[in-house]
Structure 1
Amino acid sequence: MIDIIHRVGIKAPISKVYAALATREGVAGWWTKETTGASEVGGNLELNFSTPSGETIGGMGMQVVALDPDRQVHWRFTSGPEEWIGTDAKFRLNQDGEFTIVHFSHENWREAVEFTAHCSTKWAIFMMSLKRLVETGKGEPAPNDVLIGDWH
């Protein structure tokens, strides 16, 4: 199995970072504005992605597996790109001085393919959007994220 991993330090209290990861409103502030559903253990979130002009380009569903306040958020993807179904996204948090360190992993990819590399880059972009949201109050969720190619 293949995992995507990233680490980012966010200059903010751990509770503020956790809230941005553990709530529907938080996720809509850094990943995609089109986020619906229930962010509670066992609940499901639906995310849709559009271009800045409003053209739908994709979406996914995920189940909230674990919410461990100020420590971890864990999602399992249940619909969307075939490569994502059954994979897990985990955000592990720890405080280091005035920084909250986010250890992100997108785990259990069946194989490393070109789409894995694309998603790794997009996850890095969205981790920086999370950082901006928490530190400044304004993230860059889709459709206002960085375009990296013809797959968006």
Structure 2
Amino acid sequence: MPDIIHRIAIRAPAAKVYEALATVEGVGGWWTRDAKGRSAPGGTLQFMFHRPDGTELGAMEFEVLELKPEREVRWRCTGGPPEWIGTEVAFRLSREDEQTVIAFGHRGWREVSEFTAHCSMKWATFLLSLRAFVETGKGRPAPDDLKIDTWN
């Protein structure tokens, strides 16, 4: 099974990075403003995506699998694009020099496709949004995210 993986370093304490990943409010600051749910193991998170004009692009739902303060956040996709259902998203945190390093993985894709490539690129832009959000207080969550192609 193919996986999407990325690595990014953020100039902030692990606790601050973890807060941006492990809370609904935090995720709303870098991924999509339309985030809701219960961020606790066994909880469900829902994320809606819209264009700047308000047109709905899609929605995803995740079961929260694991929350390890300052170390890991892990979700399983239970709703959204068919290619995402059953995949797992993990953010593993470690400290290196004065930075928090995130080893990101969106694992368990059934096949490689143009959609996988699109999602890989979008995750990269959202991880940069996460870094900006944590370091400066201002991310680029949807609908104000960086547009990369005709699918968003």
After TM superposition, give the deviation of residue 109 of structure 1 in Å.
0.2
Partner of residue 90, structure 1: 90
**Secondary structure of 1:129's aligned partner:** helix
Q: TM-score, normalised by structure 1?
A: 0.99
- The runs of 5 or more residues in structure 2 that have no matched partner are none
Partner of residue 16, structure 1: 16
Partner of residue 107, structure 1: 107
Letter in 2 for 1:89: V
Letter in 1 for 2:27: V
Partner of residue 121, structure 1: 121
**Secondary structure of 1:149's aligned partner:** coil
**Secondary structure of 2:29's aligned partner:** helix
Please report the RMSD computed on the Cα atoms of aligned residues, expressed in angstroms: 0.4
Runs of 4+, deviation exceeding 2 Å: none
Deviations 1:2-51 (A, max 9, x none): 10000000000000000000000000000000001001110000000000
In structure 1, distance between residues paired with 2:140 and 2:33: 9
In structure 2, distance between residues paired with 1:149 and 1:71: 33
Letter in 2 for 1:143: P
In structure 1, distance between residues paired with 2:134 and 2:60: 24
Partner of residue 147, structure 2: 147
Letter in 2 for 1:146: L
Partner of residue 51, structure 1: 51
- The runs of 5 or more residues in structure 1 that have no matched partner are none
Deviations 1:43-66 (A, max 9, x none): 000000000011111011000000
